[in-house]
Amino acid sequence: MFFSGIAMMLIGSLLTIASQVLLAVCVYNDAKSRGDQNATLFAVLSGVLGFIPAIIYLVVRSTSGPGTALMCPNCGVVLPAGAFNCPNCGMPHPKARIIPPDADARSRRAKGLLIGWIVSFVLSIVLMIVGGVLMGMGAFSLAQDYSSNSHRYSYSYQDSLDHYLNDYYY
């Protein structure tokens, strides 16, 4: 049981690393679908430091992306996706970004990767807990085996010592 617990802990650790990679790819795809220029930075931070940078990314990410309309602050006309200037009055828009043509596909991919990350993260936690329990049970049974057999081994040793002394000296 002890060694199967170690194996489960090892598998859980590897699954945790894989879930971190999934989270980084998910953040990268979401940031790219929104036209964020810091997509690589958020992906690396999320992959290395875990889900806290990913939560910070979710808080600070822009709301512009596929399906989100930007309005001209001067005349109120809805700007087409990727427009830097208003088509009605020509005023430059300060929040306009270039939205890549594959933004919808990246957004769907990011949602699928997020679901995969959640599943793998929960599974790794379960494997680590079960592995810890198995390691504890295995260590307890090893300790019991040692304590129950140590008396037999010492008795056997004492018995052979008495036998040796009786044959040699008497």
**Average pLDDT over all residues of the chain:** 75
Residue-level pLDDT at 44? 92
| Residue boundaries of the structural domains of the chain | 2-62+102-169, 68-96
Question: Which pLDDT belongs to residue 105?
Answer: 79
From the CA atom positions of the chain, what is the Rg in Å?
31
How do residues 54-107 score in pLDDT, each as one tens digit?
Answer: 888 888 875 544 455 567 777 777 777 667 778 888 877 766 555 666 777 777
> Which pairs count as long-range contacts for 26-29, CB under 8 Å and 24+ apart, including other chains?
26/54, 26/110, 26/113, 26/114, 26/116, 26/117, 27/54, 27/57, 27/110, 29/106, 29/107, 29/109, 29/110, 29/113
Burial class from Cβ neighbours inside 10 Å (0-12, 13-18, 19+) for residue 51 reads: middle
Q: Are 68 and 51 in contact, with CB atoms under 8 Å apart? A: no
- Note the pLDDT of residue 1: 67
At residue 149, the pLDDT reads 54
**Looking at residues 112-131, what average pLDDT do you find?**
86
Beta strands in 32-93, from DSSP E residues, in sequence order: 70-71, 78-79
Kindly state the average pLDDT of the residues 37-61. Answer: 86
Inform me whether the pLDDT recorded for 170 exceeds 70. no
For the ranges 8-17, 49-58, 67-76, 107-116, which has the lowest average pLDDT? 67-76
Largest CA distance in the chain: 120
- The more confidently predicted of residues 160 and 73 is 73
Averaged over 35-55, what is the pLDDT? 86
Q: Are 110 and 33 in contact (CB under 8 A)?
A: yes
Across the range 110-136, mean pLDDT stands at: 84
Mean of pLDDT values over 115-121: 86
Looking at residue 9, its pLDDT comes to 82
Tell me, what's the pLDDT at 61?
77
Q: What is the DSSP string of 93-126?
A: PTT--PPPTTHHHHHHHHHHHHHHHHHHHHHHHH
Task: Rounding to the nearest 10 degrees, give the CA dihedral for residues 151, 152, 154, 159.
Answer: 130
